[in-house]
Structure 1
Amino acid sequence: MKVSTVMWPTEPWPEAGGLWRRAEELGFHAALVYDHIAWRGITPWYDAYSTLSAAAGITSRIRLGTLVTSPNFRHPVPTAHAARTIDHISGGRFTLGIGAGGMNRSSDAGILGDGEWTARERAGRFAEWTDLMDALLRGSEVTFDGTYYSAREVLTSPGCVQRPRLPFAIAATGPRGLRVAARQAGMWVTTGSRELRHDPQEAVRRQLEGLREACEAEGRDPGELRRLFLTGFTEEPWLESPEAFADLAGRYAELGITDIGLHWPRPGTDWDADMKVFEAVASAHRG
């Protein structure tokens, strides 16, 4: 079981830099950051890619990534350019987290003034965005004409440090999104299910079954994907004690989860936790 942490892009630099260094010192496998303009109306909320670029320059071992980037306000072409740059700055430690994006206007939905997307359009944009991103990070020159996105003779040389491209961590639970994950992801991400908040482990079991079916439909071995459960959205006591974490991690490992994500403790919020427990869990699962 690999344990990663989600950082909050709310502190000014260089204070934030100290937290990223601390995440590496504690031995987390990866430090990830939400990619929004704002999140639930919280400000300040600093840019994910600029933050990751700075973090890449002051760390040397920990993996870095978004959790997640979405089509809500990012076009694939400049996003691929930024992701490739961070991959080079970090020496090949960058993972691109991708999701369909939410509908919360206090985060980033509709911020470009293009109206509300239907569920069908949101799923279609997500799939097309991901496929174009794959092409942009693999090829030396890309031309693409899609329903939602286009690219004209985009030069992408020299490509990524990680070959054939940097890995994708895809958050998806619906049938169409799971097919995208099965086709393109190195890691699948879930927070559980709103419909089964009372039984999050059953929710994840059902989602993993859907992922297995999607992989079969795409002709892929589901064992090739790592599977991350992001905590903090259920009532499970992940950071009540190191023993509580070990018990829950074991339960999820039995389901097939390979990675756990913990939010950096944030006082006064749903993600508050005892820092001593947080550090003990990180130290017990170094790397």
Structure 2
Amino acid sequence: MRVSTVILPVYPWREAREVWREADDLGFHTAYTYDHLSWRTFRDGPWFGTVPTLAAAAVVTDRVRLGTLVTSPNFREPVTFAKDVMTLDDVSGGRVTVGLGAGTTGFDASVLGGEPWSARERADRLRDFTVLLDRLLTEPAVTHEEGHYRAREARTIPGSVQTPRVPFAIAATGPRGLRLTARFGQAWVTTGDGRLGDDATPAQSRAAVRAQVERLEAACDDAGRDPSGVERVLLTGFTPDRALESVDAFVETAAGYAEVGITEIVVHRPIPGTQFEGEQSVFERIATEGAPQVAGL
């Protein structure tokens, strides 16, 4: 099992520089950041742009992969985003993963002045966004006239450093999203089952994720694809587990989800006074002591 982290884009660069270097030095597999214009309880505080942040992080790191967790069509457009992704992949020397998801009805969905889309339209747009983004990152010139997005002789040259393109990690739990993952994803992302109540147990959460993994595998089988070729990523912080309480708690959490098919577990870098509160020393020990313990799972 791989161990990764999320660094929220809340730090001015004079601080963020060292935060991203820390992730590199601690040995995390990937350091992701949220791709939002703002997010929930952080809405009235500092929140910096995702693409510039990742570009700057690429310059000050050497080893750790970098990624979005996740980008949605709520305010992104495939042609311009493909150019950003190509550039990030170049600056980082091929260390970028693009997390993609349908988004929600929150701040990102209304800040540009439009009405939030229905769940069906968000799923439609994620499909169309992913289809075109895949073409843009694998073909030097693209004209595309289908679905919600258009491209006319769009150039993405010289293309991705990684071949055949930057990998996609698709966040999905419904049948349409899982089919999309089976078609385009190099990884699949879950935050657990949001339908579980506040009194849910870790065992119930693991059972729900097991069911999600089984549906992903079925979608891969239907698409004629080997399910083992899709990494399974759990973003913690939204399940009843307490992965940041201690190294032992992290190892127990990781082992439980490895048993149900998760291959990468992601923990948030602690932010005092928020839902991601935790001890920085524990976070660091998860990377240096916990990660080696779960590497073989």
TM over 0.5: yes
Partner AA of 2:112 in structure 1: L
Specify the SS of the correspondent of 1:28.
Answer: coil
Partner of 1:233: 238
- 1:182-204 CA deviation, whole Å, 9 max, x = no partner? 11111100000111251211110
Inter-partner Cα distance in structure 1 for 2:257 and 2:44: 31
Offset at residue 147 of structure 1 (A): 2.3
Tell whether the 8 Å contact from 1:196 to 1:202 is kept in structure 2 after alignment: no
Partner AA of 1:209 in structure 2: E
Task: Provide the TM-score with structure 1 as the length reference.
Answer: 0.97
Partner AA of 1:128 in structure 2: D
Specify the SS of the correspondent of 2:192.
Answer: coil
Inter-partner Cα distance in structure 2 for 1:224 and 1:42: 40
Offset at residue 60 of structure 1 (A): 0.7
The yes-or-no answer on 1:93 pairing with 2:78 is no
Inter-partner Cα distance in structure 1 for 2:276 and 2:105: 22
Which among 268, 275, 282 is matched to residue 270 of structure 1? 275
Specify the SS of the correspondent of 2:62.
Answer: coil
Inter-partner Cα distance in structure 2 for 1:42 and 1:130: 31
- 1:17-56 CA deviation, whole Å, 9 max, x = no partner? 1100011111111100000111112432100000000000
Partner AA of 2:206 in structure 1: Q
Partner AA of 1:79 in structure 2: F
- 1:131-189 CA deviation, whole Å, 9 max, x = no partner? 10000000010010122100000111211000000100110010000111111111100
Specify the SS of the correspondent of 1:14.
Answer: helix
Specify the SS of the correspondent of 2:80.
Answer: helix
Specify the SS of the correspondent of 1:67.
Answer: strand
The yes-or-no answer on 1:258 pairing with 2:263 is yes
Partner AA of 1:83 in structure 2: V
Inter-partner Cα distance in structure 1 for 2:118 and 2:145: 21
Inter-partner Cα distance in structure 2 for 1:114 and 1:244: 43
Offset at residue 119 of structure 1 (A): 1.4
Specify the SS of the correspondent of 2:189.
Answer: strand
Partner of 1:68: 70
Inter-partner Cα distance in structure 2 for 1:147 and 1:160: 24
Runs (4+) of structure 1 moved beyond 3 Å?
A: none
Partner of 1:79: 81
Specify the SS of the correspondent of 2:259.
Answer: helix
1:81-160 equivalences under 5 Å are: 81-105=83-107, 108-160=108-160
Partner of 2:192: 192
Inter-partner Cα distance in structure 1 for 2:152 and 2:205: 44
Partner of 1:24: 24
State how many pairs are aligned: 285
- RMSD of aligned C-alpha atoms? 1.2
- 1:41-75 CA deviation, whole Å, 9 max, x = no partner? 24321000000000001111000000000000010
Offset at residue 219 of structure 1 (A): 1.1
Runs of 5+ in structure 2 lacking a partner?
none
Inter-partner Cα distance in structure 1 for 2:180 and 2:141: 23
Task: Provide the TM-score with structure 2 as the length reference.
Answer: 0.93
Partner of 1:280: 285
Offset at residue 110 of structure 1 (A): 2.5
Inter-partner Cα distance in structure 1 for 2:53 and 2:84: 12
Offset at residue 280 of structure 1 (A): 0.8
Inter-partner Cα distance in structure 2 for 1:241 and 1:225: 29
Inter-partner Cα distance in structure 1 for 2:16 and 2:257: 31
Specify the SS of the correspondent of 2:51.
Answer: helix
Tell whether the 8 Å contact from 1:200 to 1:234 is kept in structure 2 after alignment: yes
